[in-house]
Amino acid sequence: MSDYILEMKDITKDFPGVRALDKVNLKVRRGEIHCLVGENGSGKSTLMKILSGFYPHGDFEGEIVFEGKPQKFRSIHDSERVGIVTIYQELALIPELTVYENIFLGHEIKSGRLIDWNKTIAMAKQVLEKVKPDLDTSRKVKELGVGHQQIVEIAKALTKNVKLLILDEPTSSLNEDDSENLLKIIKDLKKQGITSILISHKLKEVVEVADSITILRDGKTVANLNKEDGFSENEIIKYMVGREIEDIYPKRKKREFGDKIFEIKNWKAYDKTLGRYVVKNANMYVRKGEIVGVSGLMGAGRTELALSLFGNPKNYAVEGEMYFDGKKVRFRHPGEAIKAGLAYLSEDRKGTGLILDFDVKTNITITGLRQLVRGFFINDNEEIVLAEQFKESLKIKTPSIEQKVLNLSGGNQQKVSIAKWLFVKPKLLILDEPTRGIDVGAKYEIYTLMNKLVEEDGMSIIMISSELPEILGMSDRIYVVSGGRISGELSREEATQEKIMTMAVDY
Amino acid sequence: MNFIQELGVLLKKNIREYGMYIALAFIMIIFTILTKGLFLSARNISNLFNQMGYIAVLAVGMTLVIVIRHIDLSVGSVAGFLGAIAAALLRNNFPLIPTILIIVGLGILVGLGNGFLVANIGLPAFVATLAGMMIFRGALLVFTQGTGTIIIMNDTFNAIGNGYIPDIPNNTNYHLLTIIIGLIVVAFYIMSDVRTRNNKLKYNFEVLSMRMFVLKEIFISAIIFYIFWTLASYNGISWTFAITLIITLIYHLLTTRTALGRHIYAVGGNPDAAQLSGIDVKKITLFVFGSMGLLTAISGILYTSRLQSATPDAGNLFELDSIAAAYVGGVSAAGGVGKVINSLIGALVMASLINGMNLVGVGISLQYIIRGAVLIAAVVFDIKTRSTAK
């Protein structure tokens, strides 16, 4: 007989036109790490928003029992009061404030009516002892990496007497090192008696840390797995997608590469606001029909490298030679790069990739609108036909191409982001974290598409990725970036996770 | 679904779009009752459109400025200043057409100057244009210091703000050309709507049912035609009204049908994504401020010509009136949202309020309070309906 800290029974939640959750059950034992997995749109986030009181009692059907008592949360405040704290993917920290100010934000330590700063700092240190003793509490949060910011969030939760900690994809934007670190902290917290619910797409880490797993699919609970019975990634994937994926990476043909389509020599980029080189003496090339993987830790300068090539929108001071499609070039802004046949899929599709308020159609055509102009005006018919074609060929799931992309799931948003670059028919496509935060099914479709683009359309691809299996599974050749320079090059045959990691930490 | 139900669903779904029209109708009915019909008289309607012109033109330009997440506070002072220059040129017997060209050119220059400060130097638009507001107010005072009010004797210039388009000879009491233009406008409206509907049908997009569509066309056509008919029974279409309509039409087409227009909304919706999609954000910013300068010049001409003179306080608070009109018309400060046609209607709502309150005899102090309240009500309505409408 187990002791459940939380039971959510027969939770049903409707949105206009969609049933997001259908009699979902979630049982979490005291002191365990419980992983919640499912494809994007399977209802994980909705379920957690119900638990945290974001969707107030009465907005859904079903019952929440926490620590043996039925709960009726009307707001996030209510759930935090009983000890349920959620850490969202988008961190709720104030960048300009220090670590200790952030930790006690909203429940400041006061003496009388004023904040007692000395006590605040002391208590912040005390809390951080439990998770990350060497973190300087007086630094501003904006100066910390995402990994450390997560830790600050956790520290903040600890000050609220948390009993149940919910982490929504905490490692999705962390590199392997920081991820491991964070998971270790969660395990440590478990020893101190704090129960965690972890939402994650990274099945490897799920299998590693979970005591039990609940799998959701299309708003229904499809499986409950326990550690005693053993986990396997394949089994989880089978439940998530309702089918077994033999191989996460699609089969590929034997490839022949053409001439070099792109090359940089002694490429440097100096960030004037940071006052340092973000790219140092990079040398690399890409051949026609090749997928080149760019691996490296977060902050190693991968995105900076890509941006310095793609018309340099951040205004770095750039030095070095760049050859593209047989000509020596230096693009002054992204428009020029696009015209020449270069495309860049942003790593942050919501922040810098898509215009969320625009519909699917207008997001796709924004990169090459002038192609659709006849006389003065945009030709609506051509635009619609074109967008419909992309919807078909990339299997973008949307009720209509006139749907705002805001309302699409992550995987479908990513397909729209890719479609907008395919529209301009680039010769070289730079994909920055093309599968971040999207589910297994959509990942597979994107991999298949990438193979098709190089094999059938003769395109070349640079794929920047933090996920080593993805780099190994998809690349013909791999560059590893570390501290702004290219620290190594590996062929598909010789590359292993260990070799890449060794180069990635080589400063 | 029966007819009433369908109408209900339609109204509910598009409440945000229709809200402003309903508010306008409400204001007009109230004032018509309070003034025993005087408000809707041909003479007053004609007058109303003339009063609205110089603000409406600014509101159209301001819509784009707000769409790209900026603001232009200088337009009032600049309009007044340019009007004074026009008056001075005309008083020295400078010919009319070159005068207008110079004023429009200066307006564009001032606008580009604002755009340069914002886009290239990186000043916040609020600060850059606040400075412009003070500088040009001062310049206007310096300019009119010696002379005081500058009276304009050029009849052609004065006709812009006070005159009416000529008629074709006929034996009726009506302005025949106005009626013909009204019919053409209605025809164009229906044709364009039918084209859009057929297009959507072709791709299986959601459209109004046939009976709703016909009802809507009849309803709106009737209103449009009624307006022209009313004007025709007075002096016909005024030059101010004609200029306002043409500018709105041009900007409507620019924003909804051209690549440039799409790019403006993209910059407003997400500047970073727009830049990474190859859009030159600086150029767009320059264009939008330049266009604001152009419209400011036109507004200055309309106002000066309407008063037939340039005064030291010309253009006072125009910036705030036009910003208010744009917000009543539903533009969003968060960027990327706002239609020029709606801003025109917004200007009409505000002008109707002022006109109606003047007819009823409401004191100026109370007028300001009521206008402020209406502005808040409009934006609250907009925000409340935005969250539900998807």
Yes or no: say if B281 and B274 are a contact pair by the CB < 8 Å rule.
yes
Yes or no: say if A82 and A66 are a contact pair by the CB < 8 Å rule.
yes
Query: Which burial class, exposed, middle or buried, applies to A130 when counting CB atoms under 10 A from its CB (0-12, 13-18, 19+)?
Result: middle
Q: For residue B211, name the pLDDT band (cuts at 50, 70, 90).
A: confident
Task: Tell me which residues of chain B, numbers 319 to 348, contact chain A at a CB-CB cutoff of 8 Å.
Answer: 336-337
Domain-embedded: residue B12: no
Q: For residue B389, name the pLDDT band (cuts at 50, 70, 90).
A: very low
**Rounded Cα gap, residues A470 and A503, in angstroms:** 17
**Rounded Cα gap, residues B242 and A109, in angstroms:** 65
**Rounded Cα gap, residues A217 and A203, in angstroms:** 15
**Rounded Cα gap, residues A89 and A173, in angstroms:** 9
Mean pLDDT value across residues B246-257: 96
Task: Name which of A128-132, A195-199, B57-61 the model is least confident about.
Answer: A128-132
Per CATH, A4-241 and A260-341+426-504 having the same topology is answered yes
Q: Residue type at A58?
A: G
Yes or no: say if B277 and B62 are a contact pair by the CB < 8 Å rule.
no
* B262 contacts A378? CB cut-off 8 A: yes
**ipTM of the modeled complex:** 0.87
* A388 contacts B203? CB cut-off 8 A: yes
* A355 contacts B270? CB cut-off 8 A: yes
For chain B, say whether A333 makes contact (Cβ under 8 Å): yes
Mean pLDDT value across residues B262-276: 96
Assign A427 to helix, strand or coil.
coil
* A334 contacts B276? CB cut-off 8 A: yes
Q: For residue A40, name the pLDDT band (cuts at 50, 70, 90).
A: low
Best mutation target, A309, A352, A386, to test chain B (most B CBs within 10 A):
A352
For residue A245, pLDDT over 60 is answered with no
Which of the given ranges, A52-56, A110-114, B29-33, has the highest pLDDT on average? B29-33
For residue A244, pLDDT over 70 is answered with no
pLDDT for residue A217: 85
Say whether both B217 and B202 belong to one domain.
yes
**Rounded Cα gap, residues A21 and A61, in angstroms:** 10
Q: A42: which DSSP letter? A: S
* A310 contacts B276? CB cut-off 8 A: yes
How many separate domains does chain B show?
A: 2
* B336 contacts A355? CB cut-off 8 A: yes
Mean pLDDT value across residues A100-109: 88
Yes or no: say if A481 and A295 are a contact pair by the CB < 8 Å rule.
yes
Size of interface A-B (CB pairs under 8 A): 85
**Rounded Cα gap, residues A262 and A291, in angstroms:** 12
Looking at per-residue confidence, does B33 or B204 come out higher? B33
Q: Which residue in chain B is spatially nearest to A356 when comparing CA positions?
A: B269
For residue A192, pLDDT over 80 is answered with yes
Say whether both B209 and B297 belong to one domain.
no
Say whether both B215 and B276 belong to one domain.
no
Say whether both B294 and B217 belong to one domain.
no
**Rounded Cα gap, residues A165 and A154, in angstroms:** 8
CATH number, domain of B146, equals: 1.10.3470
Task: Name which of A422-431, B43-52, B333-342 the model is least confident about.
Answer: B333-342
* A334 contacts B275? CB cut-off 8 A: yes
pLDDT > 90: what percent of chain A?
A: 55
User: Which chain B residues have a beta carbon less than 8 Å from that of A334?
Assistant: 275-278
Domain-embedded: residue B9: no
* Mean pLDDT score across all residues of chain A: 89
For residue B81, pLDDT over 90 is answered with yes
Domain ranges in chain A are 4-241, 260-341+426-504, 359-424
For chain B, say whether A458 makes contact (Cβ under 8 Å): no
**Rounded Cα gap, residues B296 and B319, in angstroms:** 10
For chain B, say whether A384 makes contact (Cβ under 8 Å): yes
**Rounded Cα gap, residues A246 and A242, in angstroms:** 13
Q: Which residue in chain B is spatially nearest to A345 when comparing CA positions?
A: B276
Mind giving me the DSSP string for B253-319? HHHHHSHHHHHHHHHHH-HHHHHHTT--HHHHHHHHHHHHHHHHHHHHHHHHHHHTEE-TTTTTTHH
- The alpha-helical segments, DSSP class H, found in B146-205 are 155-162, 176-202
Q: For residue B131, name the pLDDT band (cuts at 50, 70, 90).
A: very high
Mean pLDDT value across residues A380-386: 91
pLDDT for residue B15: 78
Say whether both B216 and B249 belong to one domain.
no
Q: pTM of the full predicted structure?
A: 0.82
Task: Name which of A67-76, A281-290, A296-305, B105-114 the model is least confident about.
Answer: A296-305
Measured CA to CA in angstroms, residue A232 lies from A136, A156, A216, A326 at distances of 39, 34, 16, 49
Domain-embedded: residue B8: no
Q: Which two tokens stand for residue A364?
A: 């796709």
Sign of CA dihedral B17, B22, B28, B31: negative
Q: For residue A1, name the pLDDT band (cuts at 50, 70, 90).
A: very low
Last residue of a domain, one of B206, B221, B237: B237
From A346, A370, A384, residue closest to B203, measured CB to CB: A384
CATH number of A260-341+426-504: 3.40.50.300
Looking at per-residue confidence, does A274 or B126 come out higher? B126
What digits encode the pLDDT tens for the residues A174-186? 777 888 888 999 9
Q: Which residue in chain B is spatially nearest to A421 when comparing CA positions?
A: B277
**Rounded Cα gap, residues A363 and B69, in angstroms:** 19
For residue B185, pLDDT over 80 is answered with yes
Task: Name which of A297-301, A423-427, B193-197, B352-356 the model is least confident about.
Answer: A297-301
Task: Name which of A46-55, A226-235, A336-345 the model is least confident about.
Answer: A226-235
Q: For residue A5, name the pLDDT band (cuts at 50, 70, 90).
A: very high
pLDDT for residue A2: 60
Instruction: Give the domain range for residue B208.
Output: 171-237
Last residue of a domain, one of B237, B254, B276: B237
Task: Write down the CATH superfamily of domain A4-241.
Answer: P-loop containing nucleotide triphosphate hydrolases (3.40.50.300)
Task: Tell me which residues of chain A, numbers 159 to 218, contact chain B at a CB-CB cutoff of 8 Å.
Answer: none
**Rounded Cα gap, residues B337 and A507, in angstroms:** 47
pLDDT for residue A17: 57
State the nearest Cα–Cα gap between B342 and chain A, in angstroms. 19
Looking at per-residue confidence, does B3 or B212 come out higher? B212
From A337, A380, A407, residue closest to B390, measured CB to CB: A407
Looking at per-residue confidence, does A501 or B51 come out higher? B51
* B265 contacts A353? CB cut-off 8 A: no
Say whether both B150 and B120 belong to one domain.
yes
* B280 contacts A333? CB cut-off 8 A: yes
Mean pLDDT value across residues B256-278: 96
pLDDT for residue A248: 75
Last residue of a domain, one of B217, B237, B257: B237
Beta-strand runs (E) in B48-87: none
- Who's near A343: CB < 8 A, 6+ residues apart? A367, A421, A424, A426, A428, A429, A430
Angle between the N-to-C axes of helices B42-67 and B259-269, in degrees from 0 to 180, rounded to the nearest 10: 60
Say whether both B143 and B220 belong to one domain.
no
Pairing type for strands A460-464 and A291-296 reads parallel
Mean pLDDT value across residues A304-333: 94
Best mutation target, B195, B272, B277, B332, to test chain A (most A CBs within 10 A):
B277
pLDDT for residue A11: 94
Q: For residue A447, name the pLDDT band (cuts at 50, 70, 90).
A: very high
Say whether both B257 and B145 belong to one domain.
yes
* A351 contacts B205? CB cut-off 8 A: no
Q: Residue type at B385?
A: T
For chain B, say whether A404 makes contact (Cβ under 8 Å): yes
Best mutation target, B276, B284, B339, B390, to test chain A (most A CBs within 10 A):
B276
